[in-house]
Amino acid sequence: MPKKGCARFNGGSGCDVDEIPFERVAFKKCHKGTYWDGKREGQECVVKEFKDGSVYDEYYFATELDVVDRTIAIVDEFNKANILGSTGKVKVNKPTIATGIGSITGLKCMAEPYIANFEKFNSNSGWVNPKGGVWCDAIQALSHFSFHITRGKYLLCDLQGGVYQDGFVLTDPIIMSQRGDQGPGDLGAEGIRRWFQKHRCSRYCRSSWATPGGRGTGRPANEHTVYSLQRRPSRFPMSGFEASYF
């Protein structure tokens, strides 16, 4: 049994999937589907397929799941601290990896519960939704809290999902780290400094929470996720094949 906390699980072992994706983002295509069994039978889900060129790389799947697990640990601490009080709690969609769901024959993909009322509240470059209201303040505080609670090691950002009557559900988060090893959306220590350069503490932030030293380079904040070029740890080094040509 999954342990209780902020994780929002699939609750079904299979689903029917629409062949045509409803959204295409950087590395993924997103398909809507419907669970055919389990606790979520009849409910909608989302199946995310990595685009051609990245779908066979185990690195993407492993990194994505690691980021989600780290996000869940941070959000559990945030909820435990009762930062939002009566405003509600934050939950995190936890996807599962599957192969050949519906029309996505033979390809690895990730399935998770569908989120209604979808909104994006901040990005990894420091952009903040100007129409986000109280939940934007709450999510900005979650990002700041993540840096504080991890002693400056990580920053949880690029936060998006859905607002419900009793809380908020996150999906596809990005974690930026001092080492820059948390996937293609991790802009490293410089990205963290740049994000905080644009951050304005909300009503939910605490004056005692840590912030990074120094200032990032002045780049414009963008609503869309900014990606860094990533090496592929699962592949052979180029030098092993082409050393004689240099």
> Is pLDDT above 50 for 217?
yes
Element of type H or E holding 79: helix 58-80
- Cite the beta strand spans of 6-59 per DSSP E: 7-8, 15-17, 23-25, 28-35, 44-50
Most confident of the following: 31-45, 102-116, 139-153: 139-153
> Is pLDDT above 70 for 137?
yes
> Is pLDDT above 50 for 245?
no
> Is pLDDT above 90 for 216?
no
Q: What is the pTM of this model?
A: 0.85
Per-residue model confidence (pLDDT) at position 1: 41
Local structure of 168: helix, strand or coil: strand
Average pLDDT, the chain: 84
For the chain, domains (ranges, CATH) are 15-198 (3.20.200.10)
- pLDDT bin (cut points 50, 70, 90) of residue 19 is confident
| CA-to-CA separations, 109 to 8, 116, 132, 166, 224, in angstroms, rounded | 18, 21, 31, 30, 23
> Is pLDDT above 70 for 166?
yes
In the predicted model, what is the mean pLDDT of residues 3-16? 85
Burial class (CB in 10 A: 0-12, 13-18, 19+), 142: buried
Element of type H or E holding 177: strand 174-177
In the predicted model, what is the mean pLDDT of residues 178-188? 94
* More reliable by pLDDT, 103 or 8: 8
Q: Which token pair is 105? A: 């024959």
The per-residue pLDDT for range 97-128, each reduced to its tens digit, is: 877 665 565 677 889 999 999 999 999 999 99
Per-residue model confidence (pLDDT) at position 228: 59
The per-residue pLDDT for range 226-242, each reduced to its tens digit, is: 655 454 444 445 444 34
- Please state, in angstroms and rounded to a whole number, the distance separating the CA atoms of residues 80 and 89: 9
Element of type H or E holding 241: helix 239-242
In the predicted model, what is the mean pLDDT of residues 68-88? 96
